[in-house]
Structure formats: C-alpha cells, structure tokens
C-alpha cells in the first residue's frame, strides 16, 4: 500500500503540470486571438479595437466560488485604480452565461466594471479549454503578457504587479 501512495504522490506534480499546459490554447508572447463582443450599450466591439491599450480579460461564472473571491479584488484593486487610465481596458466575461444571469449578479454585487456574456464560450474557447477564473493581460501591441488560472492571493498580486508596471 505504501508503494502505491508514493507512486501516486510522485506523479501528481507531473499530471498537474501536463493538465495545466493542455488547458491553455495560448501562451505568453502570442498575439492575442481577436474576438467580437457586444457591450452593455449594444455596441459591437472587437479586441483589436483596443490596440494601443493594456487590456485585462477575465473569465468567470456567477456560480464559481474562486471567481467570487477574485472579483471584489478586481473591482477594488484594478478597476477602481485604473478605470480613468486612457491606456487601460477591462472586460469580464461570464462563461456560458447570458444577461438573465449576469444582470441580477451585477445588481446584487454592485460591480461597476464591464461584465459581459460569453454564452456559447465563443471567446473563452479561443484562449482555453476549461477552468475558471482566468486572467489574460494583452499589451499595447496585442501580445499576451500575463496568464493565470484559478485564484490565489499570491497569483492575484502578480497580476497587480504586471498592471502596475505597464500602467503606472
């Protein structure tokens, strides 16, 4: 029995690394895949419309506990900090969710950053196969400079450092 335990424990890091690598469809330094989306005011936009700006793309779901831990920090430490910065944009996409879920969620939480639907995973599927929350930072040239999966305080602090370096 001890041998099985040590065998399994020994392979967990390898399995975890391999699984994480398969989940991302993009990597650091890649040109960010372009996509179209509709803002709350019904205007149609594309990611390439924001070239010349640092763009943070967040994927979440209203039912996701780690997402619910992360989003208050997105509001307080990112959106409130940079919303007036003309070189920054933030888009938070509700994976597999439409306005019928997002509207009440926005009303209940009071978030003021742009939360938009990605009902059919059309945007999410350009970046990953599974797993939320996810953050992608795209630089002024349209290159991916930061990727994260899941939420930990330490990883979120890395995201804050990347944004501070690019925007302060």
Tokens of 143: 């290159």
At 93, list the tokens: 């996409």
Q: What is the pLDDT of residues 23-78, one digit of tens each?
A: 899 999 999 999 999 988 899 999 999 999 999 999 999 999 999 999 999 999 99
Give SS3 for 69: helix
Provide the residue ranges of all domains of the chain, joining segments of one domain with +. Answer: 26-167
* Per-residue model confidence as pLDDT tens digits over 112-157: 999 999 999 999 999 999 999 999 999 999 999 999 999 999 999 9
pTM of the model: 0.85
With residue 42 as reference, give the H or E element that holds it: none
Of 160, 156, 145, 121, nearest to 30 by C-alpha is 145
Q: Which CATH number fits domain 26-167: 2.40.110.10, 3.40.30.10, 3.30.460.80, 3.30.2130.10?
A: 3.40.30.10
Q: Which two tokens stand for residue 123?
A: 């945007």
């Amino acid at each position: 029995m001890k041998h099985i335990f040590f065998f399994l424990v020994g392979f967990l890091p390898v399995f975890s690394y391999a699984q994480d690598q398969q989940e991302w469809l993009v990597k650091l330094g890649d040109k960010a895949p372009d996509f179209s989306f509709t803002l709350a005011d019904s205007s149609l936009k594309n990611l390439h419309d924001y070239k010349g700006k640092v763009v943070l793309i967040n994927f979440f779901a209203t039912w996701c506990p780690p997402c619910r831990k992360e989003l208050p920090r997105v509001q307080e430490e990112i959106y409130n900090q940079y919303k007036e910065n003309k070189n920054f944009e933030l888009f938070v996409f509700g994976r597999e969710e439409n306005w019928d879920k997002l509207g009440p969620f926005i009303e209940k939480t009071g978030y003021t950053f742009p939360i938009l639907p990605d009902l059919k995973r059309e945007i999410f599927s350009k970046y990953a196969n599974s797993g939320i929350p996810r953050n992608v930072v795209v630089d002024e040239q349209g290159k991916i400079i930061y990727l994260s999966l899941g939420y930990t305080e330490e990883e979120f602090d890395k995201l804050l450092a990347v944004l501070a370096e690019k925007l302060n």
